[in-house]
Amino acid sequence: MDEVQAPIIAVIGGLIRQTPGTISLGQGVVHYGPPQPALDAVQDALSDASTHEYQDGAGLPALVERLAAKLKAENGIDVSRGSRVVVTAGANMAFMHAVLAITAPGDEIILNVPFYFNHEMAVQMADCTVVRVATDARYQLRLDALRAAITDRTRAIVTVTPNNPSGAVFSEDAVRAVNALCRDRGIYHIADEVYEYFTYGAARHVSAGSLPEADGHTIAMYSLSKAYGFAGWRIGYMTYPEHLAEPIAKIQDTILVCPPVASQVAAIAALDAGRAYSEPHVRELAAIRDIVLSRLSALAPLASVPAADGAFYVLMKVETALDPMTIAERLIREHKVAVVPGTAFGMTDGCYFRVAYGALQKATVAEGIGRLVSGLRQILT
Ligand SMILES: Cc1ncc(COP(=O)(O)O)c(C=O)c1O
């Protein structure tokens, strides 16, 4: 555990609490909550004794069925072709399950840099090694570098699209190429698709599991946290090849026994509301993203921000020799705005910050970005 980084959101959260009035562009959360029918369904379920008892390990059959239908209709994944679905307490748990299911200590997992910090942390906790592969200047995948990074110990390549922390959306060709590479080399493709609904402009999300011959080696995870404002209810789910059913059942039974029943009842109702629930929120975020990108681009040449077509993040590069954590602390203490240092995402070659805009309303984002821009100007010049 000594090698595992401290949970950065908690570290930044501590600094924010010490500086009241700070606007957080830190945590990756949305500003809206669950659909009302989800809350009503939980209210109704409270008087049902089964809500308070252990239920099926993989998830309530009604939820698993609902998820299978969603996966088929929206993701092009037909679980009857040889995959399974497991409901977890969030996509983070699904990722940990996947790593435990496919690795032995000392195995390698390839992460594209920038990575989602909890992915690195999970791999290290499983006593495995993270092999870091850099993306290009626009945070897009570099297939040749991924190919070159595969060794006899490699068990999987992880892709996150739309991406946390860069906001990049990978093209169908790129996802297809990684999926085929994994198949050809006999390793798994772990696809984190928790931001599947969050794309802007012409960008479209492509599910790795929908690609031809993907079923036997593709593990994909999803979440209700962002799409349905469900972060505190802890509901995620994962599709995985049938041959992993036994390890996944052992891991799920040991770590979670069964997903929280009340949360699953809420999830069924949320899925009934469906994607239409998040669409207006995603449109609203598209307008906020425009503000973020245009205000931050004014920082050139002090900082640069590749356009990001998805999720609710941008990863800005700042031209300075200063340490990003020092700058992040000064931004909070002196300018009352919080961002996350790029080092948490494996960006150690230069000074980067992730700016998250999902939790903000338009008025707050303008104020927060204003503070960030003037704060960086003061610190750096
Ligand atoms: C890429 C990615 N995967 C997984 C998660 C965690 O999702 P959950 O709340 O479902 O555990 C997040 C949350 O920020 C994320 O950014």
Asked if residue 133 lies in contact with residue 147, where contact means CB atoms within 8 angstroms, the answer is: no
Q: Which two tokens stand for residue 114?
A: 């920038």
* pLDDT attached to residue 365: 86
Pairing of strands 351-356, 108-113: unpaired
Distance 114 CA to ligand 1 centre (A): 15
Q: What are phi and psi of 207, to 5 degrees?
A: -85, 130
Greatest Cα-to-Cα distance within the chain, rounded to the nearest angstrom? 63
Residue nearest atom 11 of ligand 1, based on CA coordinates: 90
Q: How far is the CA of 49 from the centre of ligand 1 (A)?
A: 31
Token readout for 249 is 């059942």
Cα–Cα distance measured from residue 12 to residue 6, given in angstroms and rounded to the nearest whole number: 11
Predicted pLDDT of residue 249: 98
Q: What is the pLDDT of residues 65-108, one digit of tens each?
A: 999 999 999 999 999 999 999 999 999 999 999 999 999 999 99
Give yes or no for a cis peptide into 260 (omega within 30° of 0): no
How is the beta sheet containing 351-356 ordered, strand by strand? Answer: 303-304, 313-318, 351-356, 340-341
For the CA of 27, the nearest atom of ligand 1: 14
88: which 2 tokens? 């977890």
DSSP 228: T
Compute the distance between CA of residue 145 and CA of residue 184 in angstroms, rounded to an integer.
16
For 301, counting Cβ atoms within 10 Å of its Cβ (0-12 exposed, 13-18 middle, 19+ buried), the class is exposed
What's CA 32's distance to the chain center, in Å? 17
The answer to whether the beta carbons of residues 346 and 111 sit under 8 Å apart is: yes
Contact 23, 16 (CB under 8 A): no
Q: Who lines ligand 1 at CB under 6 A?
A: 28, 90-92, 116, 160, 164, 192, 194, 223, 225, 231, 236
Pocket test for ligand 1, best of 194, 340, 357 (most atoms within 8 A of CB): 194
Question: What pLDDT band is residue 362 in, cutting at 50, 70 and 90?
Answer: confident
Position in ligand 1 atom list of the atom nearest CA 235: 10
Q: How confident is the model at residue 242 (pLDDT cuts 50, 70, 90)?
A: very high
Cβ contacts of 279 within 8 Å, gap of 6 or more:
197
pTM reported for the whole predicted model: 0.97
Query: Which residue's CA is the closest to the ligand 1 atom numbered 13?
Result: 28
Report the nearest-CA residue for atom 16 of ligand 1.
164
Ligand 1 centroid to Cα of residue 217, in Å, is 22
Nearest-atom number in ligand 1 for the CA of 160 is 1
Write the pLDDT tens digit of every residue in 121-178. 999 999 999 999 999 999 999 999 999 999 999 999 999 999 999 999 999 999 999 9
pLDDT tens sequence across 175-230:
999 999 999 999 999 999 999 999 999 999 999 999 989 999 999 999 999 999 99
Return the best residue to mutate from 92, 224, 345 for the ligand 1 pocket (most ligand atoms within 8 A of CB).
92
* Residue 94 CA, closest ligand 1 atom number: 11
Q: What is the mean pLDDT of the chain?
A: 96
